[in-house]
Amino acid sequence: MSDQLHGGIVPGSTDISLPILLRSTSDSTEVTGKVAADVTASYWRQGGSRTNISASDLTTITDAHAAGGWKEVDATNMPGVYRFDIPDAAVATGADWVVITIKVAGAFTVNHFLPLQSLTSIADAILQRSAANVEDVAGDHTLAAVIFGILESSISGTTWTIKKSDGSTTFLTKTVTKDAAAEPITGVS
């Protein structure tokens, strides 16, 4: 599961548990001792309508995932913190976001807005892959330009030449320095 949360949730992920913090509406202190019967839970996906989630008590905090599973983590050492297992359908492909809502009498309502981001869309944003090709990316210090430059580059003397995607046209050049005592490049300017 450690590869499913990257600033959001990867659509189509399974067995996602969320930490829920319950605070009292009267004095904002942590609320302890709540069980599944005390919980009203729902999710709302982009383009859909509210869907009820039936909460059920987990036996231990380490139980296997169960849609709607609810368990207090540790009333003494982590007061007010609960585990809540969301249904896989809440994060299925086909939407850009989902909101998970937890209501417990006497506690503030908890709303988790979760972007559903595919690993491809995250990589596209980081690498700016929507550009027609890397040389169309603004500036020469973008991650895409640096990666491309590493793949399509050569060093001659103190000049590092980075090629465009055609493999022959120069995209940019940089001056490199070498440490007299060692061969590896120690700086790029």
In sequence order, the 6+-apart residues with CB closer than 8 A to the CB of 103 are 39, 40, 41, 109, 110
Tally Cβ neighbours within 10 Å of residue 1. 10
Report angle CA 40, 115, 104 to the nearest 5 degrees.
15
Tens of each residue's pLDDT in the chain, 189 residues = 444 444 578 888 899 999 999 999 999 999 999 999 999 999 999 999 999 999 999 999 999 999 999 999 999 999 999 999 999 999 999 999 999 999 999 999 999 999 987 666 556 666 655 554 444 444 555 566 556 556 667 778 788 887 776 667 777 788 877 655 555 555 555
**pLDDT reported for residue 6:** 46
**pLDDT reported for residue 117:** 79
**pLDDT reported for residue 9:** 85
**pLDDT reported for residue 158:** 81
**pLDDT reported for residue 4:** 47
- Indicate the pTM of the whole model: 0.64
How do strand 185-188 and strand 17-21 relate by DSSP bridges? unpaired
